[in-house]
Homo-oligomer: A and B are copies of this chain.
Amino acid sequence: MRPELEPFTTLLDLRTGLLEPVREAVERRLSHMAGAYLEQSEGLGDPVIYRVYGFPVPPTNANVVCSTTVIEPGTVGREYFMTKGHFHEVRDRAEVYLGLAGQGRLLLATEDGRHVVEPIRAGTVNYVPGGWAHRSVNVGDEALVFFAAYVGDAGHDYGTIEQRGFPVLLVSGERGPEVVENPRYLA
């Protein structure tokens, strides 16, 4: 076959997650996190919660879409800064995370309400199999940075999580992060 794309190389700062050159960037502020937080966010202003830096390749099942995510440290009430979380639109598509810096948790949930919590830190490789919604949570005092790769035609379904939430929340407790039931979860 004659290739449709040319090879390219981007530089990733393994501690900060920044790319050189920046090709695609998405910024999520608190005001973009509708329904994600149980607790009130009044008085916090509209801080950046996380940024995603992407590598634009065609969204087909021949390609691997990759990105780095940088989640700022912080809380909204007792809940940590985190990503919106999503299922893949094509449900069976998998994703892999490689942790680069910081201290985090990967929260995974199935449509029938099961959940799993995995660690994210420098050197963790998390496998997110098809069918598992995934949200990453910064439970530390520094930025949480990870690299992600998924099959290009996976797509994002944010709506299901916006409506139903995750079965559990990650909150800041007296002895560190605690996993608690989400009282607003729609089973």
Q: Chain A: residues with CB nearer than 8 A to chain B? A: 1-14, 19, 55, 57, 61-64, 66, 90-96, 98, 100, 106, 108, 110-112, 116, 118-119, 122-132, 147, 149-152
Contact = CB atoms under 8 A, between A and B. Distances in A.
B127 A9 contact: yes
B11 A150 contact: no
Nearest to A56: B127
B11 A123 contact: yes
8 contacts: A2-B112, A3-B130, A3-B132, A10-B124, A10-B127, A14-B122, A66-B96, A98-B147
A106 B6 CA distance: 13
Given A13-B123, A112-B2, A132 B66 contact: no
Copies in the complex: 2
A2 to B, nearest CB: 7
Given A62-B94, A130-B62, A147-B98, A111 B1 contact: yes
Contacts of A8: 118, 126-127
Contact of A92 (B1, B10, B98, B106): B1
Contact of A6 (B64, B90, B112, B116): B116
A128 B10 CA distance: 12
B126 A94 contact: no
